[in-house]
Amino acid sequence: MMMFADTSRGRPFAKDPAVVRLGDRYLTYYTICPFGDDREGDGYGIGIAESLDLDNWTKIDEIQPVQECEQNGICAPGAIVLDETVHLFYQTYGNHENDAICHATSTEGTQFDRDPTNPIIKPTGDWNCGRAIDGDVIDWNGELLLYWATRDPDYNIQLIGVSSAPLESDFSRDTWTQRCDAPILAPELDWEQNCIEASAVCKRNGRLWQFYAGAYNNRPQQIGCAVSDDGISWKRISNKPLLPNGAPGSWNHSESGHPCVFVDEDGSTHLFFQGNDDNGKSWYLSRVDVDWSTGQPTIRPVGSA
């Protein structure tokens, strides 16, 4: 079983995975924690690890805050490869209602050019607080759909919204259109508590499937799934988590959260997620396989028939 954590900052910590394939290697982008001391540049950043098999990962680089809007930290990346270029959609950190989604590009996967119009996404409307985090993107019908999490005006309930930009655009700020005037997903089920976040969307059989995190971290956060024919209107496939937290004593007893869905060139679907057993003192990344044989996603351990 894949178990990856970045230990470079004093404790095992890797959150918020985003996995792509670039050539003959896989790359994952993930949140890394502050150093925990007073050294310069000690805020949240984004780590980069590579793999040849999706299970064994080696850290190769970091992305540190550069732009003024990033000065308090960056985290929670989403990624997609378009025309052999990695497009990274990540959030600023530590600004509360003012956190927003930024964009950067790289042709080799580690050195990124920032979009000069950053931040590119901040939601509007009286149903949200103006914050955007946890960006995830997918190309759909000539557009790039960008899903983001926000909160209600009282800053209590985590919600999902979506924006779109033409696929042939440069994805700068003025190319995006907010596609909702209300949440496209909001917590309704008991296990979701007060939070739905971390959208992870893939295409299958002409439909879009959204894996999402329900409940705030370690309460426990678990992963559900919804389906859509247009990317805006969504219906849950079950009233139970698709991927629950682990049993007492397991590595992910505190949560199985913040999914990333990755579809490889052979069509195989892999669900990456974060977990821990110590209420967030440490964070590890792992993955499971997604089985579509029933027409809907089901989870099976890696390597099982």
pLDDT value of residue 300 = 87
pLDDT value of residue 40 = 46
Q: Which domains does the chain have, with CATH numbers?
A: 93-300 (2.115.10.20)
pLDDT value of residue 36 = 66
pLDDT value of residue 305 = 56
pLDDT value of residue 34 = 86
Q: What is the pTM of this model?
A: 0.96
pLDDT value of residue 42 = 61
pLDDT value of residue 217 = 97
pLDDT value of residue 5 = 98
DSSP string, 155-166: S-SEEEEEEEEE
pLDDT tens, residue by residue, 19-39:
999 999 999 999 999 876 544
Q: Which residues on adjacent β-strands are paired with residue 166?
A: 143
Whether 82 and 69 have beta carbons less than 8 Å apart is answered as no
Question: How many C-beta atoms surround the C-beta of residue 39 within 10 A?
Answer: 8
pLDDT value of residue 228 = 98
Q: Whole-angstrom Cα distance, residue 173 to residue 131?
A: 15
Sort 66 into a burial class: Cβ within 10 Å, 0-12 / 13-18 / 19+.
middle
* Placement of tokens 């950190």 in the chain: 93
Using a pLDDT cut of 90, give the percent of the chain over it.
Answer: 94
Q: Which positions of the chain have pLDDT values less than 50? A: 38-41
Q: Write out 267-292 in H/E/C secondary structure.
A: CCEEEEEEEECCCCCCEEEEEEEEEC
pLDDT value of residue 39 = 46
Tell me how far apart the 2 most distant CA atoms of the chain are, in Å: 53
